[in-house]
């Protein structure tokens, strides 16, 4: 029975071409759609196939997943326990994973002893015997393979979002074929604590239902030199649990003939996520790769999913104030430096003019603020600057047009 279940999982993970090879080898009809081929292959298995056909299944499976060191039955998602009464109870044990796949397992333990998802598994490997997963096998993309995790890839911190958990670590979108149009699949599960955090953060005071604790999907370049900004792959399309995700609208092209691009920013997928501890969530990502370009110009992308808590501009302003006011001696030293005559220059600065009006709102400065990286004395109002970036995050200094990220802001004394 155990071997039969193992062979069934192997068959369910095969692609169309491999199912056709298997059915042809067994002398069965090998034409039809994937779900039809899969049904015929499972009937073949149920009727009792010869040892030669069983060997063929294992051969095709090993060719499909050459890096695996264990059987599909070893890759079990922590899932529900079904008592004799038929009811669903929470819980589930930790999966035993073979060497080389430990980074895709569930690391550590979350609330109530339930493992906390640290990475991902392809849906076809989420484990046998789960009632909720039985219908998903027909909808698996053919590219649902294991993806390399990139622990060295870091995404830039977002000031308006506090990260609570890492549901999928930064993971490569690299595909195993050279086709221009790529598609790959990811999966993650929520712990009871995470489901509770999301559910209890629901806000229905407005016209639509919003969550302050969100599941956030992010894309970036697979670079390790510094924390990466959000960066969408070309022609990105995302489906979560079979439902298309709303992506930011295209920006108007700056020149004629230039392909329009979307502004790259985090995607809130909370509304399409299953708030369940027993049923995993699936993410299908399709994009176009830059086939034909020189290898040095090739850009690879990474995907990550986080559980975050959204903060308001009021909270960010309070945090900025809690850092305190910068010592006035810093500003005095900067003024002296600017007024000090340069012996190599024929032009000397004899006076400095600074306005008490905020360059953003043209109103009197209430909380004078600038970035540590700015070399000018002119300040802008911290409240207005943070509120504007809450609506459209650019974090650019309105005085010198250089980057002025939130973590570099100081209140001038």
Same domain for 330 and 280: no
Choose from 69-78, 117-126, 307-316 the range with maximum mean pLDDT.
307-316
- Number of structural domains (the chain) is 3
What pLDDT is recorded for position 406?
96
Summarised one tens digit per residue, pLDDT across range 220-263 is 998 888 999 999 998 899 999 999 998 988 888 777 777 778 88
Neighbours of 98 (CB within 10 A): 13
Range from 29-33, 68-72, 293-297, 366-370 carrying the lowest mean pLDDT: 68-72
CB burial of 101-111 (b: ≥16 within 10 Å; e: otherwise) equals bebbbbeeebe
H/E segment holding residue 309: strand 301-310
Of the three residues 39, 64, 89, the one that is the final residue of a domain is 64
Distance CA 19, CA 60 (A): 9
Query: Which domain CATH number covers 322?
Result: 3.30.40.10
Summarised one tens digit per residue, pLDDT across range 12-48 is 888 888 888 888 888 888 888 888 888 888 888 888 7
Q: Which structural domain, as residue segments, surrounds residue 379?
A: 315-341+349-411
DSSP string covering 264-298, please?
Answer: P--EE-GGGS---SSS-EEEEEEEE--TTS-GGG-
Same domain for 127 and 38: no
Same domain for 321 and 287: no
Same domain for 60 and 113: no
The answer to whether residue 331 scores a pLDDT higher than 70 is yes
Same domain for 284 and 329: no
Beta bridge partners of 381: 368
Distance CA 230, CA 218 (A): 6
Of the three residues 64, 80, 115, the one that is the final residue of a domain is 64
Same domain for 330 and 225: no
Query: Which domain CATH number covers 122?
Result: 2.60.120.780
- Largest CA-CA distance found in the chain, in angstroms, rounded: 96
242: left (phi over 0), alpha (psi -120 to 50) or beta: left
Neighbours of 402 (CB within 10 A): 12
pTM, full prediction: 0.62
> Strand 202-203 relative to strand 267-268: parallel, antiparallel, unpaired?
unpaired
* Selected residue with higher pLDDT from 322 and 256: 322
Percent of the chain with pLDDT over 90: 35
CA atoms within 13 A on the CB side of 352: 13
Same domain for 142 and 60: no
Structure tokens of 161? 């979002």
Same domain for 296 and 379: no
Q: Which residue shows structure tokens 């977002």?
A: 158
The answer to whether residue 124 scores a pLDDT higher than 60 is no
Same domain for 263 and 380: no
Same domain for 115 and 94: yes
The answer to whether residue 397 scores a pLDDT higher than 90 is yes
Neighbours of 137 (CB within 10 A): 18
Same domain for 325 and 290: no
Query: Which domain CATH number covers 23?
Result: 1.10.720.30
Give the Cα-Cα-Cα angle 278, 212, 360 (nearest 5 degrees): 150
Same domain for 217 and 82: yes
The answer to whether residue 141 scores a pLDDT higher than 80 is no
Helix count and strand count (H, E) for the chain: 8, 13
């Amino acid at each position: 029975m155990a071997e039969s279940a193992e062979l069934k999982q192997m068959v369910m993970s095969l692609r169309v071409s491999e199912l056709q090879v298997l059915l042809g080898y067994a002398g069965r009809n090998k034409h039809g759609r994937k779900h039809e081929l899969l049904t015929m292959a499972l009937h073949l298995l149920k009727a009792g196939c010869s040892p030669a056909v069983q060997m063929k299944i294992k051969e095709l499976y090993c060719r499909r997943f050459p890096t695996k060191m264990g059987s599909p039955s070893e890759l079990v998602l922590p899932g529900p326990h079904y008592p004799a009464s038929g009811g669903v109870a929470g819980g589930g044990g930790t999966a035993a994973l073979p060497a080389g796949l430990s980074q895709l397992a569930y690391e550590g333990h979350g609330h109530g002893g339930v493992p906390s998802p640290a990475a991902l598994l392809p849906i076809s490997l989420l484990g046998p015997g789960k009632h909720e997963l039985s219908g998903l096998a027909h909808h698996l993309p053919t590219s649902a393979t294991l993806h390399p995790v990139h622990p060295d890839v870091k995404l830039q911190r977002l000031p308006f979002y506090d990260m609570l958990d890492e549901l999928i670590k930064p993971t490569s979108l690299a595909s195993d074929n050279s086709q221009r149009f790529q598609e790959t699949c990811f999966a993650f599960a929520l712990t009871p604590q995470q489901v509770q955090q999301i559910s209890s953060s629901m806000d229905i005071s407005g016209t639509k239902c919003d969550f302050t604790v969100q599941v956030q999907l992010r894309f970036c370049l697979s670079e390790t030199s510094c924390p990466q900004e959000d960066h969408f792959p070309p022609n990105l399309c995302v489906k979560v649990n079979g439902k298309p995700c709303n992506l930011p609208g295209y920006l108007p092209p700056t020149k004629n003939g230039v392909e329009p691009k979307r502004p790259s920013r985090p995607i809130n997928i909370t509304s399409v996520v299953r708030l369940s501890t027993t049923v995993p969530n699936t993410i299908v990502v399709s994009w176009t790769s830059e086939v034909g370009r020189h290898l040095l110009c090739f850009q690879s992308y990474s995907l990550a999913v986080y559980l975050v808590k959204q903060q308001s501009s009021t909270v960010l302003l309070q945090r900025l104030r809690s850092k305190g006011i910068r010592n006035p001696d810093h500003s005095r030293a900067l003024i002296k430096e600017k007024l000090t005559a340069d012996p190599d220059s024929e032009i000397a600065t004899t006076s400095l003019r600074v306005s008490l009006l905020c360059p953003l709102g043209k109103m009197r400065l209430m909380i004078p603020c600038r970035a540590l990286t700015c070399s000018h004395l002119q300040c802008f109002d911290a409240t207005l600057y943070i509120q504007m970036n809450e609506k459209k995050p650019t974090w650019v200094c309105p005085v010198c047009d250089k980057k002025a990220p939130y973590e570099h802001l100081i209140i001038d004394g």
